[in-house]
A and B are shown apart, each in its own frame.
Chain A
Amino acid sequence: MWFNRTLFAAVGLTATLSMQLALAQPSGVECIAPSDPGGGWDFTCRSVGRLLEEQDRVDGSVKVTNMSGGDGGVGMSYVVSKRNEDPNLLVAASTATISNLAQDRYTGLDHEAVRWVASLGADFGAIVVREDSPYENLNQLLDDVMEDPSQVSFGGGSVAGTWDDLKVRLLAKAAGMEDIADINYVAFNSGGPAQTQLLGGHIDAYTGDFSEIAGQLEAGNVRVLAILAPERLAAAPDVPTAIEQGYDVIGANWRGFYAPGNISDEEYQEWVSILGELYQSEGWQEAMEANGLGPFWQGGEEFGEFVDQNIEQLVETSREVGVLE
């Protein structure tokens, strides 16, 4: 009897251990969304990850990990300090990531610390209020902001001063506001929690990207006051652009990935071609359309150069609205 029990236990433990060991040797790919669930980076990882699996473009599964903090800074320092050679790792990035790098907010890191793989689409900025909000258009909202900035609170998934806040500041500047720094912007760990706060009426307006808010718009929970695109989106033809309303502001947010800095050139090229094929696939084209993303492919070295330029642009923009000296 005693022997029997010990045997049982030994078998159980061995099974447990081997399972653990198997997990320690990760098969498949990990995609880090450096934010809480429910925002744009999370969307990037989950939708691209799903298609990579469905289309059998990678071995094994794609696991999505949420790692919020410092507007992507926690994720990037984790990758650089702990996973810098891992070829099976992608991190979701966007113009928001670049705005942090441009303002030197990721302590000890610059854009050369990682390898920029590809951009898979353009997501346009959106200024959103609750469906029962008194604001019917962008003019009313911005007029109130100019009159008393403390009366209108904005929330978004970026740290104050970076991408989501920049979009509001650019609009305020276009409206002729002088004390742009007085805008009441509150930072959340991702677009998801900020949307919950908008729906609950705790913030007056949400600044984010169209893909993040598409579901709420369809459900009739929110009103999009303006889309920061050159022209109206096919996914939401009723929503006016900011330009139509007299504010010459475009907020295009590319959505894509970087990989760890020390992977080999072959590993890097493999990612570029995998994502390039995914971009061409019907599945991704459908996902882009459904979420209001515009076409925007950049990959490999070309994308690296684009990132360099993007940083310069955002340094310039940040100076214009007084975030950088």
Chain B
Amino acid sequence: MSNHLLSVQDLNIFFKSDKNLTPIHAVRDLSFSIDQGEMLGVVGESGSGKSITNLAIMGLLPETAIVSAKEFVFNKNALLELKDTTWQKIRGGEISMIFQDPMSALNPFLSVEFQMIETIKAHKGLSKKEARELSLDLLDQVGIASPKERLSSFPFELSGGMAQRVMIAMAISSDPKLLIADEPTTALDVTIQKQILTLLKSLQNKKNMSIILVTHDLGVIGEFSEKVQVMYAGEVVEAGKTEEIINAPQHPYTSALLNSRPGAVIRKAKTILPSISGIVPSFNQRPQGCQFHPRCNFTQSDCINQKISLLNGCRCIHPLTNGVNL
């Protein structure tokens, strides 16, 4: 067995559905690993399977999901064989998660104090008084200015940035080994986004915590994560070191995604952007062969029929060699 903190080999997730006789194949042959203290960036558009993968790691998929994997191991626990009682220890304890919209992730009827103490008591078995002290300390660690006042606040009294800091404080209260951050800054302003991402980065280094940072913004990944995997239609299309992938993408999808950002290169104002035509295929209309071929500029006849595997970190039989094709 490997020494990775989380090791995933050939993860497949299907969903049963009444309408379709064949189950929907949401995530295909996904393999990746993450080591202690490492950050992994995951980029993809909606429908690429990134959130479903996170839910699978958290054991939060609905009953209709069928999960299979050659290896799906977190910290020596085979996740697919866990009992409910063990899950309760791992979920929120060793693996924590923060969400896109901090406002809807907090319960609006309960004070920050109640919600934090509840979490800490559940995972650490501390007394109420100890839990309160730890809460103050955690709020201080995540950069909240007056922890005592904020502890008695209700979520509606917090700004978006502060609410996300509270969420992070709750997530790290159990000293998790792995933190999953699912689009943690999408709902926030740029200046606040920078504060939150810098906070996550410093927590990663200070606590030697692993982070999976999911985002649709390649800029965020480029600035904060050393490793990245790009997902498209339930598959990883490219994975590796962020710097190499951003400077010389091999997969046409990665390249197109980079180029279609308005700020990718300094252009004259109001020039037409090199966009990707069409949309991400829906779960029940996935094409044969390469998932990206209907939208790809470089499609050849052999892309359409055969199943394409991930080779040297790129799922393409005609990878780009000169990096960015403008």
Is the pairing of A and B real?
Answer: no
A residues with a Cβ closer than 8 A to B are: none
